[in-house]
Amino acid sequence: MELKKKNKDTNIFFIFTNKKNYESIIETKYLHSKLKKKFNILVLRSSGNKILQKFITLQNYIHFFLKFIFLKKPILFFPKFSMLGLKVPALFCRLLGGKIVYLSPDRFCHSVSLMPKKQFEDAIFISKKNFQFFNFFVFFNKDNFNYEFIKKKLKIKKNKILHIGLPILFESWKNFINKQAINITKSLKKKYSSFTSIYTIIGDKNYNDNNNLFNTKSSKVNDYQYKSLKEIINSLKKIDPKCIVFFKKHPRQPLPEYLKKVLREKKFNRIILTSINVDILALISKRFFFTFPSGTLTHINSVNKIDLTNYNFFLKKNLLNRKQSKSIADGFKTIHVNNNKKFLEELLMNERNFNKKNASIKELKNIESNISKIDLLIEKIIK
C-alpha cells in the first residue's frame, strides 16, 4: 500500500501459490476489496495428483507469462528463499529487465523466539543456491536471524540488503487498519445489541509427531492449550460476560481439537472465529491471549498481552536455559500467567501491571530500531 501511495504508476501483483491461504485472507471482506481495487492478483492452481500437477504447472506458467509479458521492468517479491518452484517465472522476469526481491514476511523479534536457530540456518543453506536469483534482500525488522546471517556471514554486497522498518509505522498501513477497525466495530454493534469489550485469543494448531518442531510431548502441549483456553473463557465469562471474543485462526489449522473441545463444553455464544489481520484486532481489543509461543507476541505493539504458555515443556529440550517465570516477550507489554486464576482475573480488571516502568521497555526499543524507511525501497528497487 505504501509503494502504491508513493508511486501510483507501479503495477503490483500478489501471486498466491496456495489457494487456501488466499481464501483465508479474503475472508476479511475489507482487505479483499482493497486488494482487488489497488492490486493485481494471480492465484496459482495446484493438485495432489503428480501427473495432473505437471499440466497445471504449465497452465500456471502460461497464465503468468500473459500477465507479465507487456509489463516494463516488473518486480517480483518472494517471501521465501526456496521460491516455491517459481524459478521459471523468476527467469522470465529477468528477461523482461525486471528484478527479483526476497521480502522477509517476519516482523517479530527472532531473538526471543523459541524456534531453534538450526531451523533458520537449515532454511538458508538448503536454498543458498537460489540467492543468485535475488537482486535485493529486504527486511522489516533488524532483529531477524536471516538479516544478521546474510549481512555478516555470506558474501553479499551490503547495498543489496535493505532494512525498511516495521509496516505498522507506514502511514498507508496505519490509515488502512484504523479505517477497518472502525468498520468492524460498527458491524459488531449491528450484530450484538450491546457489548462491553473485545478480546482476542491467538490460536495455535494441535501438535503431533509430524508438525512438532519443538520436540515436546505433543499430547501434553495440546492438553495444556485446552486447559489454558478453558481458563481464559471461564475468566472472561466471570469478569466481563457481555464481551466479544475473537479467536484468531491459525492458517494451517483453523479449528484445532482443543478449540472444538472447549466450544462443546462452554455455552458462550460470543466467540467468533476470525481471519482478521492481527494489526486490526490489536486496535479493537482490550487484551490478546496466548496459549502457546507465537511471533505475534513481539509482532504486535498496540495492545496488552497475556501469555499462558507452559514454558516447562521447553526447559527439557534446552530451548530455555532457566526456569521461565516471565513470558519470552517480557518487556513487550506481555505478562505471563501460569495456573493462577486470581492473577489472570486481576490482569483482566486493571492496567496496573501493564503500566509498570519495564513492561514495554523492549517494545519501545524495537520500534525505535525499526522506524519506517520505505523511501529506501522505492529509491533502490522501484525507480
First-to-last C-alpha distance (Å) of the chain: 16
**Do 238 and 325 belong to one domain?**
yes
Give residue 323's pLDDT.
61
Look up cell 483465508; give the residue.
Answer: 24
Query: How many Å apart are CA 355 and CA 161, to the nearest integer?
Result: 37
Q: Are residues 154 and 228 in the same domain?
A: no
Q: What is the pLDDT of residue 211?
A: 47
HSE-CB at 232 with a 13 A cutoff on CA atoms is 31
Whether 338 contacts 308, CB under 8 Å: yes
Q: How far apart are CA 125 and CA 144, in angstroms?
A: 16
**178 located within any domain:** no
Average pLDDT over residues 31-60: 79
- The answer to whether the CB of 18 falls within 8 A of the CB of 26 is no
Distance CA 380, CA 43 (A): 28
CATH number at residue 162: 3.40.50
Interatomic CA distance for residues 113 and 110, integer angstroms? 5
- 177 assigned to some structural domain: no
Residues 97-146 pLDDT 10s:
888 899 999 999 999 888 778 888 888 888 888 888 899 999 999 999 99
> What number is the average pLDDT over the span 359-380?
92
Q: What angle do CA 54, 60, 66 make, to 5 degrees?
A: 140
Count of domains forming the chain: 2
Neighbours of 151 (CB within 10 A): 16
My answer on whether 224 and 104 are in the same domain is no
What is this structure's pTM? Answer: 0.89
Q: Are 284 and 198 in contact (CB under 8 A)?
A: yes
Domain assignment of residue 235, yes or no: yes
Name the residue type at position 186.
Answer: K
- Cβ proximity of 308 and 291 under 8 Å: yes
Return the pLDDT at 30.
65
The verdict on 164 and 270 lying in the same domain is no
**CB count in 10 Å sphere of residue 176:** 19
Which pLDDT does position 374 carry in this prediction? Answer: 85
Q: Which domain holds residue 355?
A: 183-368
**Same domain, residue pair 164 and 191:** no
Mean pLDDT for the chain overall: 85
Say which amino acid occupies 158.
K
Q: Is 176 inside a domain boundary?
A: no
Question: Are 337 and 204 contained in the same domain?
Answer: yes
Q: CA Rg, the chain, in Å?
A: 22
Domain with 273 in it: what CATH number? Answer: 3.40.50.2000
Q: In this structure, are residues 138 and 162 in contact, taking their beta carbons and an 8 Å threshold?
A: yes
Q: What is the pLDDT of residues 170-181, one digit of tens each?
A: 998 999 999 999
- Is the same domain home to 132 and 235? no
Same domain, yes or no: 275 and 313: yes
**Do the beta carbons of residue 282 and residue 300 sit within 8 Å?**
yes
Give the number of other Cβ atoms within 10 Å of residue 93's Cβ: 21
Indicate whether 113 belongs to any domain.
yes
- Mark whether 18 and 157 lie in a shared domain: yes
What pLDDT does 209 receive? 46
In a domain, 51, yes or no: yes
Q: In this structure, is residue 118 part of a structural domain?
A: yes
Task: Answer whether residue 206 shows pLDDT above 50.
Answer: yes
Question: Is there a single domain that holds both residue 339 and residue 254?
Answer: yes
Query: How many whole angstroms separate alpha carbon 3 and alpha carbon 103?
Result: 14
Q: Are residues 338 and 377 in the same domain?
A: no
156 lies in the same domain as 189:
no
